[in-house]
Each structure stands twice: as structure tokens, then as C-alpha cells.
Amino acid sequence: MFVRSLKALVPKTLSLQSTESRFVWQAVLVMAGGVMALTLACITPFAAMAVLASRTLPWRNAILVLLGAVIANQAAGFGLLHYPETLSTFLWGPVFFIATLAAFWASRIARTSFALVAAFAANQMVLAAYTFVTERSLGTFSPPIVAQVAFANLLGFALLGLTYLGIVVMERATEARTARSTR
């Protein structure tokens, strides 16, 4: 069984200690909002990002980072992918943020082993509800499409999780070099 959070996995060894490392991690999550929109066929793994943010950041920072990720996603979409500039397209930005917040809170209350599943379900329920209200259809929530979005979230979780671990390793290496040089 997984532990309650990444920080508790190995006490103090997986949490970021320095302000600089925490800033880098937060910047990675924000940038991932835009970059992953470009690389994962316009599917940004907001549920995965919400789980990682909820497990590695204080909740206020996590919410601001997730807001930044949604803004980066929309900037990439409208600026680089040329989303249509219609009211319904603009409204998806706030809906993505609400769905990401639902994923964030679901992952915080779920047992760690089910955090990604709970976050994904909460995220998809909000998106499905908005889609049903606006389009009177759930055609875009067919099993193959939901499976593709789930896969993107698993991939995003793995890539971002490895990135987080890389930041931890770099921080520990820097701390070790600094400790050796001060002896």
C-alpha cells in the first residue's frame, strides 16, 4: 500500500527542503500545463497534476500552481494551437480549473493508493457535467476517449513524478557538495 503522501514515503528524503527547489517544482507544474497541451494531443493531465501538487505542496501553493497550469494551458491553446475564439471555448478555461480543483480535493481526501483514480473521477465528472449542460450530450466521453485521457493522466503522473524525484536528487547532490566544501 502506498503511503499517505510523497513526503511521508521516506521521511525528509523526498520532500524539497530549499526554497529554490520548491520554486523549480512549482514552475515545472505551471509550465507542464502549457507544454503537455502541445505534446499529449491537447490532453493536459490536470488530474495527475492535482495529485502531485496535493502531495508535494502546501494546499494554498498547490491551488495557485494549478491555476497557473490552467492559464498556461489556455495560453498555449489560444496562442499556439489557435483555439477558436468563441465564448464557449473561453468558458472551458474556468471549467478546467474547477475540474482541477475537484481533482485536487478528491486526491487530498482519498487514500494514497486511490488518489489518482479519485482525482481522475472527480475531474471527469465536472467536465462531463459541463459538457452535458452545454451540449446535451456525453458523446465526447465515450470509453475510448476516456481511456485516452486516463492514459494521458498516467503518463503525465509518471513524467511529472520522475521530474519531482529528479529535483529531489539534484537538491540532495547540491546539499552534499555544499556540506563537503564547508568541511
In tens, the pLDDT along 107-138 reads: 999 988 899 999 999 999 999 999 999 988 88
Cα 8 off chain centre by: 19
Q: Which residue has the higher pLDDT, 168 or 9?
A: 168
What gap in Å lies between CA 119 and CA 123, rounded to an integer?
6
pLDDT of residue 51: 97
Answer yes or no: are the C-beta atoms of 51 and 182 closer than 8 Å. no
pLDDT of residue 85: 92
